[in-house]
Structures are given as C-alpha cells and as structure tokens.
C-alpha cells in the first residue's frame, strides 16, 4: 500500500463515520411523543510520508502513517408531541443547559 493509498483509506473511513445520520440520530417513538437526539461532531486527521534511515539519511525505505479521530457530543433533544400541531407540539431541550453532577 502506498502512502497515498493509506491516506485515502484513512480519510474514507473517517468520512463514512461523519454522516447526517450520525448527527440526527434515529427517532425514538414513544406513546405520545417522538424523541430525536441531536449531536455535534468534530474530526481531526493527520498524515506523514517520508524516507529516513537510522543514520538520518534519506536513503531508507518509504514509511507512511495516517491517523485521525472523531468526537461525538450530545447537543440537544428534539421532542415532537403527537397530536399537538404547530410550535406548541415541538420542544427542543438543550443538553448544555442540563447540570449533570
């Protein structure tokens, strides 16, 4: 696998994880309401490609590395009340406003 192939494979895996479905999760249906979790995602990615031997020369074998990470954080919950039309039938609960101890 070349350095470019390794970079592309790593980036493809990270992009697969960053989908709209990951941000707006599957709705949870209850008796009188539908709950939709909403999350925030962040991604970091880095690569390196080089040829350095133990003696510091650039004659050694090609080496490459790639890595990344994704963080997923709850942001809000959207609650849709069945049978209540208009804005009164929807409530957004901000998860940052909830004090968890």
**What token pair was written down for 52?**
């350095």
- Could you tell me which residues come within 8 angstroms of residue 7 by beta carbon, excluding any fewer than 6 positions away? 47, 49, 64, 66
Q: pLDDT by residue (tens digit) across 64-92?
A: 777 777 788 888 999 999 999 999 999 99
Q: How many domains are contained in the chain?
A: 1
Backbone angles phi, psi at 20, to 5 degrees: -60, -30
8 A C-beta contact, residue 69 and residue 11: no
Helix (H, G, I), strand (E, B) or coil at 85: coil
Domain of 76 in residue numbering reads as 3-97
Q: Which residue has the tokens 């990615």?
A: 45
Q: Which residues of the chain have pLDDT under 70?
A: 1-4, 6-7, 14, 17-24, 52-58, 60, 98-101
pTM, whole model, 2 decimals?
A: 0.55
If you compute the radius of gyration of the chain from its CA atoms, what whole number of angstroms results? 22
């Amino acid at each position: 696998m070349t350095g470019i192939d390794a970079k592309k494979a790593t980036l493809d895996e990270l992009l697969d994880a960053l989908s709209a479905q990951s941000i707006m999760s599957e709705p949870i249906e209850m008796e009188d309401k539908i709950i939709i979790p909403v999350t925030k995602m962040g991604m970091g990615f880095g690569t390196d490609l080089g040829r350095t031997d133990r003696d510091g020369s650039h004659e050694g074998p090609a080496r490459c590395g790639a890595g990344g990470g994704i963080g997923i954080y709850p942001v809000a919950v959207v609650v849709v009340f069945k049978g209540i039309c208009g804005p009164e039938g929807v409530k957004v609960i901000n998860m940052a406003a909830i004090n968890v101890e």
